[in-house]
Amino acid sequence: MDFALSEELQMVRDMAKDFAEREILPNIEDDEKNHKFRPELVKKMGELGFFGTIVPEEYGGNPELGFLGMAIMAEEVARVSASWGLPFNMQTVGPATILLKFGNEEQRKKYLPGLVSGELIGCFAITEPNSGSDVASMKTTAKKVDDGYVLNGQKMWISSAHVAHVAIVFAYTDTQAKPKHRGMSCFCIDMKDNPGIEAKAIETKLGLFCAPTSEIAFSDAKVPLDALVGEEGSGFKQCMTMLDRTRLSCAARAVGVARACLEESAKYAQERTQFGKPIAEFEMIQDELAQMSVRCEAARLLVHRAAWLTDQGARCTREVSTAKYYAAEAAVANANEAMKIFGSYGYSSEYPAERYLRDSKSYQVVEGTSNIQKVIIASYVLGKHG
Ligand SMILES: Cc1cc2nc3c(=O)[nH]c(=O)nc-3n(C[C@H](O)[C@H](O)[C@H](O)COP(=O)(O)OP(=O)(O)OC[C@H]3O[C@@H](n4cnc5c(N)ncnc54)[C@H](O)[C@@H]3O)c2cc1C
């Protein structure tokens, strides 16, 4: 067992850290206040090879880095900005997983190079106003006609959708299938210039303000036959496969926020004096810092194990859910502690602690809630997977 990162992975980590501190950090507080998304940063990250870690070279990727490389970069990006972790996920893992595992050669050639370079902004759309954890309860339909499919329905909370060029969309092609989820299909859709697709920003979020989040309305939206990914009826399986990968990215991003909380708290605790000494000298503060550190280390080990297993091609739903659950809870726990260590300044937007708390809460929801991760983990504990 080798816990050391290869020289290449260390270089990637340092590059992502340097980029996040140089390109994202200087504007992050203003951008968060102004809800500003910077598409030019997507292109810059693309140029540096951030988005190609799971994509073969023929489509512009650098697959030697794999999911472990992705996880290492995701942590560094989210440490500086949890907002930026979302576009990172859309460009790196979501649509790419679907196209690589289930798409045909034309679809891969058409979309993967653009997603990797950042020329094309991607998204994936599962959630609907009345369908979240229960994915199979979605209502969006795709009716086959002579020369394509016609989509109707609504998607909700979709990251990047109103700025996206391409979307992976899940919809029912057969509403009578038994079991129900066998009627679900997956489509890769051009988002621009389709009069039946309207994507609008959702501006009511608690945080992650630099990351665009959207609702999409499909009103008789016609897409070509070749927008179908794989076979009709295979959408649910594709969706679950994708979630195993995007969850991993989410877990890595949660480690980034947990670490930011630790680092900023340690710094503040050494600067802030009360009772004539830095508050870092108080044992109770040290206890909090130690616990935050343990959570970071444990969460990162779980993430790296799940990423390594994914890179080996192993099925590791349990390990991914374990990492996602623990890292999300660790990020929220560390953000809570950071708020306490910062005192009143934690409650103020002068310091980032309150942003960490708002942003960390998203990890308990996105890519399957913490409860859903526990449902998955318990199903393995109870031997329901043979
Ligand atoms: C910032 C942000 C970005 C997002 N980006 C995307 C995106 O890009 N694409 C996309 O498709 N979706 C996206 N989502 C949606 C997200 O994935 C869903 O919100 C999430 O899956 C939970 O669904 P829900 O909100 O409908 O909650 P619900 O499913 O309604 O759950 C409500 C509560 O009930 C609990 N619950 C539900 N079922 C069970 C159960 N069986 N056992 C125990 N408890 C249960 C949940 O844990 C939760 O506490 C995003 C959401 C946010 C906030």
Q: In 85-147, which ranges are E strands?
A: 122-125, 141-145
Q: Are residues 226 and 256 in the same domain?
A: no
Q: Are residues 157 and 169 in the same domain?
A: yes
Reported residue count of the chain is 386
Residue after which a domain boundary falls, among 233, 255, 287: 233
Task: Look at residue 157 in the predicted model and tell me its pLDDT.
Answer: 98
Same-domain status, 229 and 247: no
Which ligand 1 atom is nearest residue 125's CA?
A: 11
pLDDT of residue 1: 84
Q: Are residues 209 and 88 in the same domain?
A: no
**Looking at the structure, do residues 200 and 271 belong to the same domain, yes or no?**
no
The answer to whether 170 and 230 are in contact (CB under 8 A) is no
CB 220 within 8 A of CB 144: no
Which CATH number is 19's domain given? 1.10.540.10
pLDDT digit string, tens, across residues 91-140: 999 999 999 999 999 999 999 999 999 999 999 999 999 999 999 999 99
- The pTM (predicted TM-score) of the whole model is 0.98
In a domain, 1, yes or no: no
Residues 115 and 73 in one domain: yes
pLDDT at residue number 42: 97
Cα–Cα distance measured from residue 54 to residue 70, given in angstroms and rounded to the nearest whole number: 8
Residue 190 belongs to some domain of the structure? yes
Ligand 1 atom with least separation from CA of 133: 29
Nearest residue to 318 via CA among 386, 366, 271, 364: 386
Centre of ligand 1 from the C-alpha of residue 132, in Å: 5
Q: Which atom of ligand 1 is nearest to the CA of 155?
A: 11
| Contact assessment for residue 247 and residue 320, using Cβ atoms and an 8 Å cutoff | yes
Judge whether 331 and 251 are in contact, CB under 8 Å: no
Instruction: Examine residue 253 and state whether it is found in any structural domain, yes or no.
Output: yes
Give the whole-angstrom CA distance, residue 96 versus residue 55.
7
Q: Does residue 297 have an active-site annotation?
A: no
372 and 247 belong to one structural domain: yes
CA of 369 to the centre of ligand 1 (A): 6
> In this structure, what CATH number is given to the domain that contains residue 339?
1.20.140.10
189, 205, 233: which is the final residue of a domain?
A: 233
Q: Which residue has the tokens 């690589």?
A: 100
Asked if 219 and 198 touch (Cβ cutoff 8 Å), the reply is: yes
- Please indicate, yes or no, whether residues 228 and 259 belong to a single structural domain of this protein: no
Q: Report if residue 386 sits inside a domain.
A: no
What would you report as the CA-atom Rg of the chain, rounded to the nearest whole angstrom? 21
Distance CA 282, CA 271 (A): 13
Tell me the CA–centroid distance for residue 365 and ligand 1, in Å. 5
Q: How far is CA 122 from the centre of its chain?
A: 12
Residue 149 backbone class (left: φ over 0; alpha: ψ -120 to 50; beta: rest): beta
Structure tokens at 339: 């708020």
Confirm whether 192 is domain-assigned: yes
Q: Do residues 365 and 254 both lie within one domain?
A: yes
SS3 breakdown of the chain: % helix, strand, coil, rounded to 5? 55, 15, 25
To test the pocket of ligand 1, the residue of 126, 137, 369 to mutate (highest count of ligand atoms within 8 Å of its CB) is 369
Residue nearest to atom 48 of ligand 1 (CA): 369
Q: Residue 186: inside a domain, yes or no?
A: yes
Please indicate, yes or no, if residue 2 is contained in any of the structural domains: no
User: Which of 173, 202, 233 corresponds to the end of one domain?
Assistant: 233
Instruction: Evaluate whether residue 138 is within a structural domain.
Output: yes
Element (DSSP H or E) covering residue 306: helix 283-311
What pLDDT sits at residue 385? 86
Q: Which domain holds residue 206?
A: 123-233
- pLDDT, position 271: 98
Residues 279 and 264 in one domain: yes
Which of 143, 146, 141 has its CA nearest to residue 170?
A: 141
Torsion of CA 94, 95, 97, 98, to 10 degrees: 130
Q: At 307, list the tokens.
A: 């990423």
pLDDT in tens, 266-291: 999 999 999 999 999 999 999 999 99
The domain that holds 213 is classified in CATH as 2.40.110.10
Statement to judge: residues 87 and 117 lie in one domain: yes
- Low-confidence residues in the chain, pLDDT < 50: none
Which pairing describes strands 166-172 and 122-125: parallel, antiparallel, or unpaired?
A: parallel
Q: Ligand 1 pocket by C-beta < 6 Å: which residues?
A: 123-127, 132-133, 157-159, 205, 208, 213, 362, 365-369, 371-372, 375
Residues 246 and 358 in one domain: yes
The domain total for the chain is 3
